[in-house]
Amino acid sequence: MYTVDNYDVIVIGGGHAGCEAALAAARMGHRTLMATISLDNIALMPCNPAVGGPGKSHLVYELDALGGQMGINADATAIQMRMLNMGKGPAVHSLRCQSDKIKYQHLMKQTIENTENLNVKQIMVTELKVEDGKVTGIVTELGEFYGAKAVVLCTGTYLKGKILIGDIDYVGGPNGQRVAEHFSQSLLDNGIELMRFKTGTPARVDKRTLNLENMEVQEGDTHHHSFSFMDEWINRNEDVCWLTYTNKETHEIITSNIHRAPMYSGKIEGVGPRYCPSIEDKVVRFADKERHQLFVEPEGTSTNEMYVQGM
């Protein structure tokens, strides 16, 4: 092990949380390092490229009030904005932005790379260094030591990550990335409790294979919106989404193959998000429902990849 450099703050991870933590520390004048497995995946949105919505939009507003970047980035790369739950009281109104996946990622990466006091390195962290009960830095897979007064963990779903598709499973991180195999043990050795969190994302579909004329068009709001208080309320709608539904045949296919679903075969070890169940879970838990909503949403303006929300 050899010392490479020393920082005030080291942030491990370059996703949504890592970007905000690194920017916050650097903007406060602290010499900061953001350590990420891949420079090409800074601010990558491996699931739905959407910002906000129920349970999340208030977090974007709070980040913005604290000088964060997500709201600004979402406004700049939006392809559709809608205020949800307008049929209910104002307490549950929530702004949701469908972003251009590539533009969001590139703009955030550009911001990160050009922020004063902030260094970014493509390194795999394997160990949290602790001496006399105090964190002193990190060690990488190449035996490099980076010292720090504080280390912020924003590791997401990369720690000992596993991909499960039906009855197939393999080791891997989101979107085909490397997985962090060794850092979990270092956290355990230092008395940090870990638990597995299950997230789900559907296979993308090719827009050219869809009968969009049979779906309900979901346009953005004519009333203009903005996530950031520093941005203008302008029309940000560049594209539309579509609404369709599952049917009896869909449910029969799912039910007849339920034994292959990881949630029902015993392969899932962790807990999942309470209000974002997988389609097989909805079919089982709400067996009285004849159909479930599916929103077909573009991943960007330069791709035919469509995200099937609800599947």
Separation CA 220–CA 237 (nearest Å): 6
pLDDT, tens only, 1-42: 899 999 999 999 999 999 999 999 999 999 999 999 999 999
2-156 topology per CATH = FAD/NAD(P)-binding domain (3.50.50)
Burial 260-287 (b: 16+ CB within 10 A, else e): ebbbeeeebeeeeeeeebbbbbbbbeee
pLDDT above 70 for 141 = yes
205-309 topology per CATH = Elongation Factor Tu (Ef-tu); domain 3 (2.40.30)
User: Please, where in the chain does CATH 2.40.30.260 lie?
Assistant: 205-309
pLDDT, tens only, 224-263: 999 999 999 999 999 999 999 999 999 999 999 999 988 8
pLDDT above 80 for 271 = no
pLDDT above 80 for 272 = no
Region of poorest pLDDT, from 8-22, 95-109, 110-124, 259-273: 259-273
Separation CA 116–CA 31 (nearest Å): 9
Position 219 scores a pLDDT of: 95
User: Please, where in the chain does CATH 3.50.50.60 lie?
Assistant: 2-156
pLDDT above 80 for 276 = no
Confidence of residue 274 (pLDDT cuts 50, 70, 90): low
Is the pTM for the entire model greater than 0.75?
yes
Distances in Å between the alpha carbon of 23 and those of 34, 70, 113, 262? 9, 11, 10, 38
